[in-house]
Amino acid sequence: MYSPILIFFLVILFDSGYLFSQEENSPGIIDSSSGEKFSHSLISERLRSSDVLLIGEEHDDVAGHSEKLKLLQSLAKNHSFVLSLEIFEKDQQLILDEYLDGHIQESKFNENMRLWKNYESAYKPIVEFAKVNKIRVIAANTPRRYVNLLSRGGMDKLKNLSKASKAFLPPLYMIKPYIQKEYDAKLKLALGDHMGKDFSYNTILAQHLWDAGMMDAIAKEVFSGNSKIVHINGRYHSDEGMGVTHRLRKIGINVLTISMLPAKNKTKDDKKFADIIYYTGK
């Protein structure tokens, strides 16, 4: 058993950009399979034959946030899409909708949402772009209180939740299916060093709950048949065909992936991360 402080550290580790760095603005976009340079227009063309564009980001990549906005602006010229965001949790959807629809003021939105520390500089421009252009935004993430609960007590704790609480979770039978040995090993290596004696497999299951929750939110939109989905999450959730990417593909959804990372961290092995590698900064 371990404290909520350790769970908070887990969230920070993977979802606040702790592991990554930031740069200024000067991108390069590369097709992983061919090694050729790509462009926004080519990404837009590739999206025509995909259900989902999944963008893996580094949460503190300042240049990356600017580039994502530019990419969304470009895509909106040719596609109608729903924007799905890891940064918002599912129980925040009503407040998010009320703000996007103009029913509540920004001050009330800020007051009632659990906004990330860098929301104002990193994500607000994207949300405001969606608001102005009437793009629906999905609060895709599982509320972290349930991730904490799973980490502390295992699956039985989730099973005992009320029906109202379970409305903010993916179907519980979807958490353990589609688990990858390679992903588990990657998680265990990363988490074990930081959790020490408090580490247990429930810690890994908690990560799978994040992934299953986002997969469920995206899949519901895809199978409604209304439009394309552009989903943004931390790279750890989707790189190397793992996590959210793997889960979506296993249920038959055509996913185009982007891994967006600072150019200063460029290596020859980056092509393994996604279909398209999008470098930011100088």
pLDDT at 196: 55
**pLDDT tens digits, residue range 55-106?**
999 999 999 999 999 999 999 999 999 999 999 999 999 999 999 999 999 9
pLDDT at 8: 40
pLDDT at 5: 42
CB 7 within 8 A of CB 246: no
Q: With residue 222 as reference, give the H or E element that holds it.
A: helix 201-224
Q: pTM score > 0.85 for this model?
A: yes
CB 1 within 8 A of CB 198: yes
Q: Tell me, which fold does domain 4-280 have in CATH? A: Rossmann fold (3.40.50)
**pLDDT tens digits, residue range 44-63?**
999 999 999 999 999 999 99
Token pair in block for residue 246: 């793997």
Ordered by start, the domain boundaries in the chain are 4-280
The list of the chain residues with pLDDT below 50 reads: 1-26
pLDDT at 91: 98
CB 58 within 8 A of CB 233: no
Is 138 exposed, middle or buried (CB count within 10 Å of its CB: 0-12, 13-18, 19+)? Answer: buried
113, 119, 126: which is closest to 16 by C-alpha?
A: 119
Count CA atoms closer than 13 A to 85's CA, side-chain side. 25
Helix 62-75 and helix 40-47: axis angle, to 10°? 60
Is 119 exposed, middle or buried (CB count within 10 Å of its CB: 0-12, 13-18, 19+)? Answer: middle
pLDDT at 17: 40
